[in-house]
């Protein structure tokens, strides 16, 4: 083979190597795109799983708190501080429910005294009867209950009954 032939063959060989390298580069770039996309999806899914975890953790805590009163077979009060729903319950049965204004912390409290002016609970908390159209914000430690609901609930509660705030 002549030197020119050798050079031409070498050129062709190098051209083929270059083409193969271009192909390989393209292949790697494609994989990098896929890896980036997969990583982004995995990060998104991880974030979503974290959000789900936190939401479900909060819901679980709330549901556990809600299920505590349902184990109480005697007449008791249950107040959801999130939605302001106060209910008179007996076991799992909701006898009466109403919406109230409340400024009390979470926890379980015992009924200490009952009269037409209010229901006093341990911890210094009080349920007060108010007019149906009442719009006054609740003072700290109080729960403002529409009078008709208060009057219907009151005769069913005894001293020692529990009020669950959750």
Partner 1 sequence: MSTTTFRSLLIPGAATLILAGVAGWQLSDLQVLRAEQAAHRAALAGDSAMLVTAQGAARVVTDSLTALLDLRASSDSAANRPYLVVSIADNRLWFRRGDEVLFTTRVATGSGKFLEKAGTGEQWKFETPRGRLVVQRKDIEPAWVPPDWHFEEAAQKRKLDLIRLEKGMEVPTPEGGVVTIVGNNVVTRYPDGREVPFEVRDGAEIRVGNQLVIPPFGTNQRRYTGVLGANRLYLGDGYAIHGTDNPSSIGRSVSHGCIRVRNEDIETLFRIVSVGTPVYVY
The residue ranges that bind partner 1 (CB under 8 A) are 3-4, 7-8, 10-11, 14-15, 17-18, 21-22, 24-25, 28-29, 31-32, 35-36, 38-39, 42-43, 45-46, 49-50, 52-53, 56-57, 59-60, 63-64, 67, 70, 75, 88, 90-96, 148, 151-153, 155-156
Three-state SS at 2:
coil
Smallest distance, partner 1 to C-beta of residue 141, A: 26
Which of 116, 151 has the CB closer to partner 1? 151
Which of 96, 106 has the CB closer to partner 1? 96
Smallest distance, partner 1 to C-beta of residue 123, A: 25
Burial of 68 (0-12, 13-18, 19+ CB in 10 A): middle
The set of long-range contacts for 65-72, using a CB threshold of 8 Å and a minimum separation of 24, is 65/106, 65/164, 65/166, 66/166, 68/108, 68/164, 68/166, 69/162, 69/164, 69/166, 72/162, 72/164
């Amino acid at each position: 083979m002549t030197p020119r032939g050798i050079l031409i063959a070498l050129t062709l060989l190098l051209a083929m190597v270059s083409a193969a390298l271009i192909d390989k580069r393209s292949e790697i770039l494609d994989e990098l795109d896929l890896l980036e996309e997969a990583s982004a999806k995995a990060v998104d899914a991880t974030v979503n799983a974290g959000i789900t975890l936190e939401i479900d953790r909060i819901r679980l805590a709330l549901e556990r708190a809600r299920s505590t009163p349902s184990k109480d077979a005697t007449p008791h009060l249950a107040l959801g501080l999130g939605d302001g729903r106060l209910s008179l319950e007996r076991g799992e049965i909701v006898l009466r429910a109403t919406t109230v204004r409340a400024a009390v912390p979470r926890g379980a409290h015992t009924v200490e005294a009952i009269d037409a002016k209010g229901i006093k609970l341990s911890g210094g908390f009080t349920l007060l009867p108010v007019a149906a159209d009442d719009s006054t914000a609740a003072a700290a430690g109080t729960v403002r209950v529409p009078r008709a609901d208060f009057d219907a609930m009151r005769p069913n509660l005894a001293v020692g009954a529990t009020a669950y705030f959750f």
